[in-house]
Structure 1
Amino acid sequence: MRPGCVAYLCLGSTVGLVQGISNGNVSEPVTLTVGREGGNKSSPLLYGVMFEVFHSWVLIVHKRIINGTNLSGNGSFWYAGPHEASERALTTCCQGDGGIHGQLLQNNGFQGTSLGMTSYAPVGDVEISQDMSNPVSDAITSSLKVSVPDGATEYAGFANTGYIGVPVMNHTYKSSFWMKGDYSGTVNLQLVGSVSGIVYADHNLTVKSTSSKFREFETSFNSTESPDGDNEWHLTIDGSKVAGSSLNFGLIQLFPPTYNDRDNGLRHDLATALDHVNSAFLRFPGGNNIEGLEIDSRWKWNTTIGPLVDRPGRESDWFYPNTDALGLDEYLWWCEDMNMAPLLAIWSGKSYGGIVSGSDLKPFVDDIMNEMEYLFGSEHTHYGKMRIDNGRKEPWKVDFVEIGNEDDLTGGCDTYPDRFNQIYKAIHDKYPNITLVASNGNYSCLPSPLPQNVIIDLHLYRQPDDFVALFNQFDNQPRNQSVMVGEYGCRNTSSALGTYWSFMQGSCSEAIYMMGMERNSDIVQMAAYAPLLEHFGFISWSPTMYGFNSSPETLTLSTSYYVQQMFSSNKGNTVLPVNSTADFGPLYWVATKTDSKYYMKLANYGPDEQNVTVSIPKTESGRLEMLGGSQNEGNQPYDVTVMPVTTNLTGDHGNYSVTMAPWAVAVLIAT
C-alpha cells in the first residue's frame, strides 16, 4: 500500500470545501429535493474491502510463573516469545494467521526463517528444540523435539502461547497435531491461564505413535471461559514412557468455532463482524502480499491449496512468515459464504527483489493459466481435477482478476505495459468474460491503448481535509474508463507507536469521498476500504476497520466500520439528481434509489449543526441512521462509545427534517 496521486485522477477543484467549517456561525437551513427520475446507474459492487497481512515488532517481556512453579512442580520458568526476561521478542502477526483465520497457535509449523522458538515453552522436566532432521513433510520441514530425561515419572511436554495469548471461551475447540516416536498411551491437552494456572479445559486422548513416520491425531473438547487472554495451550505426555528418549510434534493446531462451520475456516466472531458490513466484494490476497521480497517469495497460488501439511508457507514482505493456511480455496469459500464477489489478484512479474518481463515472463504466465484452470476447469483437466480433489466440485465463480499490485511503484512502471499485455492476452483469449483490472491508474505505466473494459486501480490514503478535497475527483472524468479504488482510508498518524484509532472527522471525510464515488458509480465500479483488521498487540498500520486481541469482549468496531456498514447496506441501483439551496460544504450528500426505496446519504464536515430538509416526493415514512461525535472522538480499543443511532421519521408530504450534528454521517431511507 502506498499513498500518492496517480495520473489525471488527482486533478480537479473543490466546490465549497471549507464553507462554514470554522466560523462558528449558525448555518442557514438547507433544502435538498431528490429527483425521482434521471441520473445514472450505480455499480452493484461499489463498496467492498481489501484483505492483506500486516506485522509489527513489539517488546514482550513476560515472566510466566504459576504460583512460583511450573505445572509439573519443577521450579519457575520464563517464556512467551523470549526465554529470558531481558530479550526483545521479534514477535509477529498478521490479519490472517492469528487474526481472521481461526487457527490460534503461533509458529505452529515452524514456517519461515524469522520466528525460531517463538511461542513455545517447556512444560515440566523436558527440553524442547526445533528439529530440522525430522521434517513432518516435504513442506513442513522441521518439528518440535521433546526430550525427556532419564528417570522421569511425571507428565511433561510443551506450551504454545498463541498470539500474545490464546482466546479461551465457553466453546468446543478442535485440536490436532502430528506426532512421531514410540509412544502408546495418553496425550493430555489443556487450556491454561499463563499466570493464574487455572485450567479451563482438560482433555485426554489415547494415541499410538511410532518412530517410522509422522501421524496426525485430531480431537475436540469443551472449555470454560477465561476472564482475559493470558492463556496458553499445553500438550503433555506420560514422561515415564519416554524417559531417556524423545518424541517429535509438528503442525499443531487449535480452532474455536469457525464461520459457517468451515474446516480450516475463519474465526466466527471476527468473520461475523465483517459479514455485518455487507461488503459487495473482497480484494485478495493483497496488496504487497502478492509481490514478495524476492521473486521466489511471492504469493504462489499452488502452495496455498490442499492439505495444510503440504503448504510450506513463506516469508512475507514484512519479514515474518505466512503459513498460507488461509489459501486460495479458503479465500473463495469466504467470499461465497458472505456473498461477496471475489476480486483475485495475480502476480504480474514484479517483486521487491526483481522484475521479470519479456520472454522471461512466459513460465509465470503459464502458471497463471494453470491457476485459471484450477478455478474453472472441468474434471477432465489436470488442475480442475485437483480443485475437485480439494473439495470444490463446481468451478469457482471469479469474474474479476487484477494483474499485479501497484506496478507504477518500486520500479515496475517501465515494464508493466509489456507484462500486462502478455497476461491480459493469455487470460482474455481463453476466458473473455473475466473483467481484468490494471494495477494502477498512471497512464505512463499502462499499455497504450488500454484494452476496452479494463478497470484501472487507484490507491489513496489521505488526511481528512485531503479526502474532502477529492469529493469531486470523478465528476468530469471520461465515462468510458472504469475505475476501482482498490485501497483507501483516512490515516490518523497522531501517535508514533501503538494504536491510533479512527475518529469522527476522519470517518466523516471518508464518507464524503465515498459520496463522490457513489455520485460517479457509473465509472467507479468498486472501492475497497483498507486495511481491514488488526490485533491490538501487533500494531503495524492504523487505523483499521476493526480490531481485537485475545481477551473476551475485545472486538472493537471503529467509526469507519460503521460508515462502511451504513453505506454498503443502504445503496440504490440508480443515482438520482438532487436540487439544493446550498453548495457542497460543509454539508455533502448523494441520493440513490432501488424501485420505490430511496436513500439519501448526508455528511456534516464541520463544528456547527446543519438543519436539513430532505424532500422525496411521494414517500411517506423514513428511517434515519446517524453516526455522530465530537471531531476527535472515536472508539478506542475495548471501548465502543460511538455507534449509529436509528430513529423513525414520518414524511410531511415527502419532506423530512434532519438535524445533522457536527462531524456526523447519516443515511435516510424513505419509502
Structure 2
Amino acid sequence: MTTLFSSLRPLLCAAVLAAPLLAVGQAKPTTKAISPDLFGIFFEDINYAADGGLYGELVQNRSFEYTPSDHGGWHPLTSWDYLHEGYAMGRVSVESAAPLHANNPHYVQLRVENPLQKGLGLKNAGFDGIALKAGENYDFSVWARVKSGTAMPLLVQLRDKKDKVLAETTLSAQAAGWQQYRATFALTAADPEASLVVLATGKGVVDLDMISLFPQKTFHNRPNGLRADLAQVIGDLQPKFVRFPGGCLAHGDGLDNLYDWKKTVGPVEQRVAQRNIWNYHQTAGLGYFEYFQFCEDIGAKPLPVVAAGVSCQNSGGTWKIGGTGQQCVPLADMAAYTQDVVDLVEYANGPATSTWGAKRAAAGHPAPFNLEYIGIGNEDKITPEFEERFKIIYAAVRAKYPKVKVIGTVGPSPKGEDYDKGWAIASQLNVPLVDEHYYEKPKWFLTNNRRYDTYDRTKPKVYLGEYASWGNTLFNAIAEAAYMTSLERNGDVVQLASYAPLLAKEGHTQWNPDLIYFTNSTVVPTVNYYVQQLFGQNQGTDYVSGVVTPPSGAIADTTVAASCVRDAKTGDVILKLVNASATAQPFQVDLAGFKGLNRTATRTTFMGDKDAKNTFASPRTVMPQVTAYKATRQFAYTAQPYSLTVIRLRGKR
C-alpha cells in the first residue's frame, strides 16, 4: 500500500477537516452541529432476514401459502411431511373452500379413516431444523375446524433429529367453525434440529391452518415477536434509526408485488403473504406494527420506505438484459395509492381516535410511534413517469404532515444519469433529504473521503441509505471506518447513514457482503459490524475541528483519517483515529480547547491482520479491545496498522 501510493505523499490526507486544521496548542477549536440521527441501520427482508431469521416463528410455511412463484418447485405443502404413524389410514389435502380468512386462502385437511391409535398428520422441520433450548418454554397454536364427528383429538409433539419425542401434549378440536387452540411446551432437553409434529388421532375430518411455534422468550417478550439473540445484536449497534422494510423489496417485482403496509398489520392470520423479490416467501408476520415496535424497543427512530408509485426497474429480471421493467401505478389509481401513504403516517402518529391510529391502538399501542421520516422510492430509474408520481405523493404528504421529513431517491449509484436527475428533482421541490446508495471497493471509500466536503449546504440533505465496500475483511471495515469519519465531518449535510444489507442466513444468502451472519442458533457479527457499532455507540452532536492532526506526509486519500465529536448530552469528547496502512501512523491531538475533561479516558482499539475475518468457524478473530488511557492536554498517538482507535474522554455538560 505504501509503495503503491508513494507518489501521492505530497498531497493532504483525505481526512483533513473541511476547514483548515488548527495548529497544535491552539486553545479554541471550532464546532458545528451535526445530525443527532447520523448512524442507523437498514433492514431488508433479503437473505432470509425476516422469516427464518429475525421473526421469531419457528414453523416454515405455517399457513400453507407457498407457491411455485415464490421459489421454483415450491407448493402449499413445502416443508411439511405427511405422517401416517403405524398402520393409520387416511389422506391429506390442501383446500381453499371457506378458509380461515380471505387473505389466507389455503389450509390443510386431514381425513382420518382409521387412526389405529397413533393417527396421521404432518411434520415440520422449520427453517433448516427447529433450534430448541433446554429450560425454555415454547408456545404452540393452531387454528382448527372439525368437519366430521363431534371432536378430533390432536397429538402435538416436539421431536429431536432422531425422531425421539422431547415433549408432547394433546388438544381436542371440537368446534365446527374455525377456532384457535393453544399449548405450551417446557423443554428439558435441547436440540438444534428438532421438528414439530401434529397428529389427528381420532376418526373423522379436521381442517388445520396457521400452525405456529414460538419461543416465549422473544425480544422484550413480545407476542408474535423477534428472535431474542439476533434482535439484541442489532440493538447493540445503538442505531439512531431503522430503515424498513427494505430497498428493492419495498417497490417490488412488478406492481402486484409492491410492498403494501396495510396488508402487514392486524391479526397475523388476516395478513397477506406474498412472493419475496429475493426468490422466497414473506408471511408478513414481521409487519409494520412489529417494525415500529422494534424501533421503539431499541430506542431508534422509524424510517419506513414506500414505493413511489412505480415498481423496481429490474422487475421481471430485466436487469439481466439491461432493460427497464419499471411498471407504474395508473394515474387513475394514484389518489388511492397516495392515500395509503398518507394513512401510514396516521397509523404511526395519529391519535387513537383516528381511523388508522385506532388500528394501531387495537394492536396494543395507543400512543403514537412519533414518525419523523418517510422515504418515497428506492434506487428508482428516474423516468418522467416516476417523477410525476413522486410529485403527487410528495405534495400530499407535505400538505397533510409538513413536519414529517420526506426522503427522495437518486438512483443506485454515486453518479450517473439517475443520480443527476434525482438530485435535480429534489432540488426543484426542496425535498428535505435524498437517499444515496453505493457499493464500491475499499479504495473508492478511501479515495472519496472528501465527497461531501463540497456539497451545497443550501440544497437537500443526504441520507446515505445503502453502502458497503464489497467484503468482510478487516481492510474493508477499516476503509469504511475512514469514510465514516468523513460522514461525521459532514454531519451537517449527511443527516443519516446505514450500512447494507444487515442480515444474512447461512445457506440462504442472495447478497454479499452483509453485516451479521447467522444460523438458527448462532450469530456472527462481522468485522464491519464492530466498526458500525463503535461509531454507533460513540456518536456526537457536534463535530469539532482543529483537535486531531494527521501524520505529516501521510498518503493522500488512501490511508489515514480522523474525527473528533462532542456529545452535548454528556459533555464527552470522542476521538476516532483510522489507519488503513500497513505501517504505524502518528496522530497529534490537542485538547486544550476543552474544559472539564477527565483525562483518564476509555480507549477502544480494533485492529488485526488486513485479511482477517470473523466466521462461523472463528467468530471472534477480530474484536474490539477496551482499556483505560491517560490523555494529556496535548499528546501524540501512534495508530497501529489496519486499526480503528476510539478514545472517549468524559466531560461536563
TM range, smaller chain? 0.7 to 0.9
% identical aligned pairs? 26
In the TM superposition, what are the counterparts of 1:255-654 in structure 2 within 5 Å? 255-256=214-215, 257-351=217-311, 352=315, 354-356=327-329, 358-407=331-380, 409=381, 412-440=382-410, 442-445=419-422, 446-447=424-425, 449-452=427-430, 454-481=432-459, 482-492=461-471, 502-550=472-520, 552=521, 554-578=522-546, 580=549, 581-582=551-552, 583=554, 584=556, 585-595=558-568, 596-617=571-592, 619=597, 620-640=599-619, 641-654=621-634
CA distance in 1, matches of 2:370, 2:284: 21
Aligned partner of residue 157 in structure 1, secondary structure: strand
Work out which of the residue numbers 114, 119, 133 in structure 2 matches 1:150: 114
Counterpart of 1:37 in structure 2 is 29
Matched, 1:665 2:633: no
Moved more, 345-354 or 369-378: 369-378
Q: Is the aligned partner of 1:46 residue 2:38?
A: yes
1:302 deviates by: 1.1
1:250 corresponds to which residue?
209
The answer on whether the counterparts of 1:556 and 1:638 sit within 8 Å (CA) in structure 2 is no
Q: Name the amino acid aligned to 2:407.
A: V
Letter in 1 for 2:516: Y
Give the Cα separation in 2 of the matches to 1:32 and 1:327: 53
**1:44-102 deviation digits (Å, cap 9, x = unpaired):** 100011111124xxxxxxxxxxxxxxxxxxxxxxxxxxxxxxxxxxxxxx211111111
Cα distance in 1 for residues equivalent to 2:288 and 2:145: 30
What letter is aligned with 1:176? S
Match of 1:67 in 2: none
Q: How big is each residue's C-alpha offset from its partner over 1:80-139, in whole Å with a ceiling of 9 and x where there is no partner?
A: xxxxxxxxxxxxxx2111111111111111235233122111232464343234622211
Residues 134 and 143 in structure 1, CA contact (< 8 A), matched pair in contact too? no
Name 2:172's counterpart in structure 1: 207
- Identify if the C-alpha distance between structure 1 residues 573 and 283 changes in structure 2 by more than 3 Å, giving closer, same or farther: same
Report deviation, 1:33. Answer: 7.3
Q: Which residue is equivalent to 2:319?
A: none
RMSD, matched Cα: 2.5
Amino acid at match of 2:534: M
CA drift at 1:288: 0.9
Q: Which amino acid aligns with 1:371?
A: L
Which residue identity lines up with residue 306 of structure 1 in the other structure?
Answer: G
Match of 2:57 in 1: 103
Deviation, 1:366, is: 2.0
1:427 & 1:312 partners in 2: Cα distance?
Answer: 25
Aligned mates of 1:367, 1:197 — CA distance in 2: 48
Structure 2, gaps ≥5 residues long: 10-15, 17-22, 69-73, 316-325, 412-418
**CA 1:134–1:143 in 2, change beyond 3 Å: closer, same or farther?**
farther
Structure 1 segments (4+ residues) deviating >4 Å:
16-23, 30-36, 357-360
Q: CA deviation at 1:647?
A: 1.3
Amino acid at match of 1:44: P
1:74 is matched with which residue?
none
Query: 3-state SS of the aligned residue for 2:140?
Result: strand
Structure 1 unaligned spans of 5+: 1-15, 24-29, 56-93, 493-501
TM-score by length of 2: 0.85
SS of aligned partner of 2:130: coil
Change in Cα spacing, 1:520 to 1:133, as seen in structure 2 (3 Å) is: same
2:160 equivalent to 1:193: yes
CA offsets per residue over residues 534-558 of structure 1, 9 Å max, x none? Answer: 11121111221112112x3x21111
SS of residue in 2 equivalent to 1:265: coil
State the 1:447 CA deviation: 2.4
Deviation, structure 1 residue 253 = 1.1
Alpha-carbon distance between aligned partners in 2 of 1:106 and 1:631, rounded to the nearest angstrom: 40
Q: Report the secondary structure of 2:262's partner residue.
A: helix
Question: How many pairs does the alignment contain?
Answer: 589
Q: Which whole-Å CA distance do the structure 2 matches of 1:449 and 1:467 have between them? A: 26
Q: 1:247 to 1:186 in 2, by over 3 A?
A: closer
Q: Give the conservation status (yes or no) of the 8 Å contact 2:145–2:174.
A: yes
Matched, 1:234 2:212: no
User: Using the alignment, how far apart are the partners of 1:33 and 1:221 within structure 2?
Assistant: 67
1:143 and 1:40 map into 2 onto residues whose CA distance is 60
Q: Is the 8 A contact 2:278 2:510 kept in 1?
A: no
8 Å contact from structure 2 (residues 64, 107) kept in 1: yes
Aligned partner of residue 518 in structure 1, secondary structure? helix
Q: Helix, strand or coil for the counterpart of 1:466?
A: helix
Structure 2 equivalent of residue 62 of structure 1: none
- Equivalent AA in structure 2 for residue 461 of structure 1: Y
Please say if residues 403 and 420 of structure 1, whose CA atoms lie closer than 8 Å, have aligned partners that are also in contact.
yes
